[in-house]
Amino acid sequence: MTREQDDSGWARTGRAWIESLGFDARALAAFRIGLALVVLATAITAVRDLGTFYTDESAVPRALALEEREPPLQFRWLFLSGTPIGVGLLLLPLFAAAVSLALGRWTRVSTLICWLGVCALMARNPYGVDFGDRILRVLLFWSLFLPLAEAWVPGRAKRGGQIFGLAVVAYLVQLVLIYFMGALHKSDVAWWEGNAVSLALTLDQMTTPIGAALREWPTLLQLATFGTLVLEGVWIWLVISPWRTGACRVLAAAAFIAFHLALSASLRLGVFPLVCVVAWLPLIPGPVFDRLGLGPKATGARSTALPGAVAAAVVTLLALTVATNLYGLFTPTSQTLPSPLDRSSRGFGLEQRWSLFAPRPDVVDGWLVATGHRRDGTLVDALRGGPAAGATRPDDPGAGLSARWIGYVRKLYAGRERPAQKQALARYLCLRWNASHPADEAIDFVAIDFFQELTLPDGREDAPIRVPLTRHACEDEHRAAG
């Protein structure tokens, strides 16, 4: 065999592997619809939380959000207004783009607006950002380069087929990084001794009733801990298997979707499990859709080449993504990226540190209490309404609370050395109470405390400790409400 023939053989093998890594057009269509639904859910959640997080009278006024971390100019969409009506109007393009994306209309423009909108929501409320938001942001970014409207578009001819190319490779690299880096960040002994899932389920604010019931099954939780490490560290590589790629992807997608559904049942994680389930939809191979009778059937593989400049940008940003992940692996969370990396990753919404429950689940739990003082001496619960809560531990500290609020409270306590965030919350509680009660029931003072519960090394919870966060006089807010 000549060297030219040998090289040609390697080239054919490499091309065959790249083609096998492609996505079925129907899988991309399902992904497009799922992505749009998640964006819609995120936008609806933002409308629900409008007065809590997104106006100047909320717990996160614009000045506070800018002080926390000034976002790039392109993500300041929601800083244009501080009123409920104004912010609501600013969210309308996000709703319209999500609907358009679901229908497969103006797909790239719709995806771009969805990406900008999600990044804008994260910039506007930096205290409520969770891992679901971060994953949604990067999925939308890489989706800008994927052909999402090749199937299941009303009124358009169905094309079908296996699609491969640089955009597919970029998406696969990002997916592998999310999980594999997540496994590498789980370096604490709690993971390697099998105790991490049990620790996570001691976080009462985040744990659902199903999760609380699972605490009685320590052996199962130990297996779940080791299973998480295997899934994220080993099983994830099935997505790029050159051998029986379709079967390997079915195994990988089924395992990870089941994993995220189990997380959703046991922990209050907001849109995180849903986003992760959607992230696996492009990996579903064509034969699965054929068996379900969902056309059009695959008719061969085809490449979707990107223009030269765009391809060069994708390669550069992919290298930036890998570098960002590697840097985060070897530096503490408090350390920011070097300036060039930081500017670039923030500018494209590609900041990444996949350290959920890493290096180990948090051992600090608790609940927030906001006690309002009325002029007649009556104490009220300024957070939930009714009589003052006192030091009594709620039966379920997370019941009725959104995942974004739970995340906000955890960051409030973790960043308790920053008085501006706590004062903004106190001002918001004063305004909300006094605007919804008659003058003789107004509060003049609010005291915010966090009751901290520590999980001890043996798994038991220590007695709660009251940690004062802030004290605030409501005089100005009372006048404003009046």
Q: Is the pLDDT of residue 315 over 90?
A: yes
Cβ atoms 342, 198 nearer than 8 A: no
pLDDT confidence of residue 296: 73
Among 479, 482, 477, 478, CA closest to 56? 477
Q: What are phi and psi of 215, to 5 degrees?
A: -60, -20
What average pLDDT does the chain have? 90
Residue 260: partners with Cβ closer than 8 Å, 6 or more residues away:
272, 273, 274, 276, 277
End-to-end CA gap in the chain: 90
Mean pLDDT, residues 175-184: 97
List the single range of 170-179, 255-264, 454-463 with lowest mean pLDDT.
454-463
Confidence (pLDDT) at 375: 86
- Could you tell me the CA-to-CA distances from 286 to 25, 289, 293, 302, 454 in Å, in that order? 8, 5, 11, 14, 49
Contacts of 262 (CB under 8 A, 6+ apart): 224
pLDDT band at 348 (very low <50, low <70, confident <90, very high): very high
Whether the CB-CB separation of 162 and 24 falls below 8 Å is answered with: yes
pLDDT for 398:
82
Read off the pLDDT of each residue in 418-432 and give the average, rounded to a whole number.
Answer: 93
Rounded Cα distance, 161 and 141, in Å: 23
* pLDDT (0 to 100) of residue 331: 84
Which pLDDT value is given to residue 323?
93
- Residue pair 363/454 in contact (Cβ under 8 Å)? The answer is yes
| Predicted pLDDT of residue 161 | 84
Q: Which residue blocks in 25-147 are alpha helix, DSSP H? A: 25-48, 50-53, 62-68, 84-103, 107-124, 131-143
Q: Are 351 and 189 in contact (CB under 8 A)?
A: no
CA atoms of 411 and 408, how far apart (whole Å): 5
Q: Is 453 helix (H, G, I), strand (E, B) or coil?
A: strand
Residue 479 has pLDDT above 60, yes or no: no
For residue 195, what pLDDT is reported? 93
How does pLDDT run across 367-417, given as a tens digit for each residue? 999 999 998 889 999 998 888 887 778 888 887 788 899 989 988 887 667
State residue 333's pLDDT score. 76
Summarize pLDDT for 82-138 with one digit per residue, the tens: 999 999 999 999 999 999 999 999 999 999 999 999 999 999 999 999 999 999 999
Quick check: 221 pLDDT over 80?
A: yes
Predicted confidence at residue 482, as pLDDT, reads 47
Q: Where are the domains of the chain?
A: 16-347, 364-481
User: Which residues, other chains included, contact 83 with Cβ-Cβ below 8 Å and sequence gap of 6+?
Assistant: 55, 56
Range list of β-strands (E), 117-218: 162-164
Mean pLDDT of 447-472: 88
Assess contact for 164 and 189: CB atoms under 8 A. no
Token pair in block for residue 190: 């709690």
Contact 457, 377 (CB under 8 A): no
Q: Is the pLDDT of residue 72 over 90?
A: yes
Contacts of 113 (CB under 8 A, 6+ apart): 93, 94, 96, 97
Mention every residue, 6+ apart, whose C-beta is less than 8 A from residue 187: 358, 359
Average pLDDT over residues 6-18: 59
* Lookup: tokens for 331: 């530096």
- Whether 167 shows a pLDDT value over 70: the answer reads yes
Which pLDDT score, from 0 to 100, does residue 476 have? Answer: 61
Centre a 10 Å sphere on the Cβ of residue 95 and count the other Cβ atoms it contains. 16
| Tokens matching residue 221 | 């939780």
H or E element, residue 364: strand 364-374
Quick check: 445 pLDDT over 50? yes
**CA–CA separation, 282 vs 470, rounded Å?**
48
User: Residue 427 — very low, low, confident or very high, per pLDDT cuts 50/70/90?
Assistant: very high
Query: Using CB atoms within 10 A of its CB, is residue 291 exposed (0-12), middle (13-18) or buried (19+)?
Result: exposed
Q: Check residue 282 and give its pLDDT.
A: 97
Q: What percent of the chain has pLDDT above 70?
A: 93
Q: Are the C-beta atoms of residues 146 and 167 closer than 8 Å to each other?
A: yes
Q: Which two tokens stand for residue 31?
A: 């992904």
Residue 192 has pLDDT above 60, yes or no: yes
Side chain identity at residue 34, one-letter code:
G
Q: What is the pLDDT of residue 14?
A: 58
Q: Provide the token pair at 139.
A: 């999925």
Tell me what pLDDT residue 20 has.
Answer: 77
